[in-house]
């Protein structure tokens, strides 16, 4: 039995849903289908999830919701009409969104979550209806009734252990289960959503729960590439990679697969295959526990912007017991997680994601570090990018770091931070955002275009 997840572009229009249906029909082992909300139909289009965020904002502000609601419903109406599904399914979808707008707004985050979840939920209902119209035995599955239990608010939404046993019952169903991604419910019945891209997580959880032979993740590319094809011309295709390699690349900007989605599949050793809805016969990229290593030590290169550095300096910092703990406690008090902590004997830097910071938080952090920790210097600097080299063979390769730094030096850019050794499969460089693209191109040239002597 396989679990197959289809992303937003795969469900953006009626022609795309027809492709999804054809893929399901070609393999009877595809018994559990996870769906995202309809995505973009063209470059300037708006995803349904973004339309729902605008709808939520209007509702919370007390504005007229008729127009933003109409935009959402129209997307489903167009798909349903082109699939000749009739008015029944459309009335079901429209009523669902109207009901969601009547939910309690006391907690804006939870109100927005349940409204956003309507994108995936109604996408699943629409696909189930279409498959039934084709004569297939398909059934929409409600995550609450199936047993997908998530953590309570305000904790970050994550799956609870009891979910796996409850969800395992899906394996016994004769019908094709159409399961909405992105959300689940707490034990008390409160809807929670994963982060954006969370449908990948739902699919991985279901694959682990039923111990699937394969978790297929259908998107709009044939495979995972060694670098971003929007930056590097014709990057090589990655045919096979390990969970660890994919995790590191996803962390640093690979948008093909949500980085958290690997953990459930990894724990059950379930292989994952990245495939293309528009070209389903392409072999795709297999993500496995172990693989045969080639002579090329670097599997992929990725980069992501949106980082800031909290720089702290204090003379004899290395002799002060508890300094690091106290600093991290200040960040914890502000509900901020950190990414990296490169350090020296009298200074350290904490790499943070920009989206966690606000001017008020920054001011409080700087003030507390200055006065409570008696730092000699403390400041926050933004506009950083992380460039990451990833490969299982890297830690056995002599001179790799030197080659990487030489390549970066050729661009004229400065390296602000290096993190090597904490992971056996990655080498991380902190650079200024303005230098990100030229560094990525030069590193690709060095490790994928050069003649190898290994």
Confirm whether residue 8 is marked as ligand binding: yes
Task: Decide: residue 44, CB within 10 A, 0-12 exposed, 13-18 middle, 19+ buried.
Answer: exposed
| Start-end of H helices in 102-219 | 108-133, 143-146, 162-167, 199-210
Confirm whether residue 220 is marked as ligand binding: yes
DSSP H or E stretch at residue 51: helix 48-60
Confirm whether residue 429 is marked as ligand binding: no
Ramachandran class of 245: left when φ > 0, alpha when ψ lies in -120 to 50, beta otherwise: alpha
Confirm whether residue 253 is marked as ligand binding: no
Q: Enter the tokens of residue 361.
A: 């938080």
The residue length of the chain stands at 454
Parallel, antiparallel or unpaired: strands 417-420 and 426-432: antiparallel
Nearest to 256 by CA among 233, 280, 270, 272: 272
Nearest to 341 by CA among 264, 417, 444: 417
Q: Enter the tokens of residue 218.
A: 């259908």
Nearest to 387 by CA among 363, 418, 411, 357: 418
Nearest to 199 by CA among 240, 283, 254, 143: 143
Confirm whether residue 62 is marked as ligand binding: no
Nearest to 151 by CA among 121, 120, 180, 183: 183
Q: To which residue do tokens 């409850």 refer?
A: 166
In angstroms, the CA 199 to CA 179 distance is 10
Residues annotated within the binding site are: 5-8, 49, 120, 219-220
Return binding residues for ATP. 5-8, 219-220
Q: Which residues are annotated as a binding site for substrate?
A: 49, 120
């Amino acid at each position: 039995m396989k679990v197959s997840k289809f992303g937003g572009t795969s469900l953006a229009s009626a022609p795309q849903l027809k492709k999804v249906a054809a893929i399901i029909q070609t393999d009877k082992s595809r018994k559990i289908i996870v769906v995202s909300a309809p995505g973009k139909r063209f470059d300037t289009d708006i995803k349904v999830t973004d339309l729902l965020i605008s709808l939520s904002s209007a509702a919370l502000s007390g504005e007229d919701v008729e127009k933003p609601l109409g935009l959402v419903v129209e997307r489903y109406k167009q798909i349903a009409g082109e699939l000749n599904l009739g008015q029944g399914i459309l009335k079901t979808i429209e009523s669902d969104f109207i009901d969601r707008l009547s939910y309690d707004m006391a907690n804006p985050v939870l109100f927005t979550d349940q409204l956003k979840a309507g994108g995936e939920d109604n996408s699943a209902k629409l696909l189930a209806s279409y498959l039934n119209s084709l004569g297939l035995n398909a059934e929409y599955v409600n995550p609450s009734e199936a047993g997908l239990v998530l953590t309570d608010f305000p904790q970050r939404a994550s799956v609870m252990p009891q979910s796996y046993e409850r969800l395992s019952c899906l394996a016994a169903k004769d019908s094709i289960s159409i399961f909405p991604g992105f959300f689940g419910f707490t034990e008390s019945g409160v809807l929670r959503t994963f982060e954006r891209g969370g449908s990948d997580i739902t699919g991985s959880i279901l694959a682990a729960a039923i111990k699937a032979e394969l978790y297929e993740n259908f998107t709009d590319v044939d495979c995972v590439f060694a670098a971003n094809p929007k930056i590097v011309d014709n990057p090589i295709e990655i045919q096979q990679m390990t969970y660890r390699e994919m995790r590191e690349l996803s962390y640093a900007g690979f948008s093909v697969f949500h980085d958290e989605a690997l953990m459930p599949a990894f724990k059950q050793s379930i292989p994952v295959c990245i495939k293309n809805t528009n070209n389903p016969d392409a072999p795709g990229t297999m993500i496995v526990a172990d693989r045969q290593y080639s002579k090329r030590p670097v599997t992929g290169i990725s980069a992501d912007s949106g980082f800031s550095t909290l720089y702290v300096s204090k003379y004899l910092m290395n002799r002060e017991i508890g300094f690091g703990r106290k600093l991290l406690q200040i960040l914890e008090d502000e509900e901020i997680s950190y990414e990296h902590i490169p350090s020296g004997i009298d200074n350290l830097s904490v790499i943070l994601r920009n989206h966690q910071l606000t001017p008020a938080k920054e001011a409080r952090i700087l003030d507390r570090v200055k006065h409570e920790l008696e730092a000699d210097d403390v400041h926050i600097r933004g506009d950083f990018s992380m460039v990451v080299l990833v490969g299982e063979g890297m830690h056995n390769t002599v001179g790799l770091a030197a080659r990487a730094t030489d390549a970066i030096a050729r661009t004229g850019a400065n390296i602000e931070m290096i993190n090597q050794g904490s992971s056996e499969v990655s080498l991380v460089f902190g650079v200024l955002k303005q230098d990100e693209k030229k560094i990525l191109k030069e590193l690709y040239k060095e490790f994928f275009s050069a003649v190898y002597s290994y």
